Amino acid sequence: MSTEIKVPVLGESITEATLGEWLKKPGEAVAQDEAVASLETDKVSIEVGAPVAGVMGAYGVQIGDTVSVGGVIGSIEAGSGAPAAAPAKVEDVRQSPPVTPVAASDDQRGGAPTLSPSVRKLVLEKGVDPTTIKGTGKDGRLTREDVLGAPAQAAAPEAAPAAAAPAAAPAADRREERVRMTRLRQTVAKRLKDAQNTAALLTTFNDCDMTEVMAARARFKDAFENKHGVRLGLMSFFTKAAILAAKTIPSANAQIQGDEIVYFDYMDVSVAVSAPNGLVVPVVRDADRMGFADIEKAIAALGAKAKAGTLTMADMQGGTFTISNGGVFGGLMSTPIINPPQSAVLGLHRIEDRPVVRDGQIVIRPMMYLALSYDHRLIDGREAVTFLKTIKEAIEDPTRLLIDL
């Protein structure tokens, strides 16, 4: 007896997805509701559960294929099946070819791990053997973080140079790999290009002295975490500062819709976070009504869901303003692109000690560059500079956040 595996409802107005990876091989035992496949929509990854318990049947679609809501992608057969560690069958290899960039013995290699397209690409770039890395993802699958944390393979000893070597010829082991763009990456590319084509993008810069914020964090971090169960980070300070600035410059929290400007009396802040399949921007809703602890808890929860790949469409929809923190990756300065239909995005960067002048003296201060990219159709240059200056003043004197000044 065979039961069809169908594409579930993906979210409001979402009718298609891309098959990201198969999580079960044909012949493996499957429990009811156990994840058997991962689908990639425009914004999030969604796991497809088995409708019944049984044995994974033949695949109906291949990795990278576009599937529609309600479409059949495979089947579950009656029976007990083989354990999950069973060797891959021929059709499995066709669906997700094993990546073995370095030589390994049969004992080392074992069953080739199933890799998502993004992880496979990263494995090839780093030149590591995926069979030597312990996966921390679901069912022991490798994640991007696992590969990034793996040491590079030791290089083979160099041969002695020839006496008069001719011009070097291309290496025999040079290779190329074509990896189909995920639906998420395609959507990101399209939206970013649409933003450039539609909005009149402009970026203004400033820098801010982080001394007072860092001192406040050092002073209260332990008491804050003991009371609220979450760390006191920088994002809550900048979120509160952006909310304060939006009260002065409401156009930074507005949108152009057709020939109308929509002003919001609330602020839903999109926070750019890194997920296994790329950058995503889940939303902290009603951030303007939250305190520091609530903001930190909301951001921590969204970050954990992004890392686990469990963000939903509801987590991603909406947002009236975006904060992107490139400083966590070491970025010194950038020109972030707005997240349409939003009109502004605040870019944060790394903190570094720099010489500055205070009261006629050159002193060392922890400084951060700030960037505000905005849609010049809606926000004038004076407004953009004022908005960013308000954030700078609030960060350099956090008391302003408490007295709404």
Alpha helices in 230-380, H assignment, sequence order: 234-248, 292-308, 313-316
What letter would DSSP give residue 244? Answer: H
3-state secondary structure (DSSP) of residue 139: helix
- Is 194 designated active site? no
- Asked if residue 1 lies in contact with residue 64, where contact means CB atoms within 8 angstroms, the answer is no
Q: The tokens of 224 are what? A: 């804050």
Residues 6+ apart with CB under 8 A from 59: 22, 26, 73, 74, 91, 95
Q: Tell me the C-alpha distance between 180 and 121, whole Å.
A: 10
Of 65, 129, 294, 380, which is the active-site residue? 380
Of 259, 376, 397, 404, which is the active-site residue? 376
- Is 380 designated active site? yes
DSSP string, 302-344: HHHHHHHT---HHHHS--SEEEEEGGGGT-----PPP-TT-SE
Q: The tokens of 20 are what? A: 């990201």
- Asked if residue 305 lies in contact with residue 313, where contact means CB atoms within 8 angstroms, the answer is no
Q: Tell me the C-alpha distance between 11 and 15, whole Å.
A: 8
Alpha helices in 128-233, H assignment, sequence order: 144-148, 183-198, 211-228
Positions marked catalytic: 376, 380
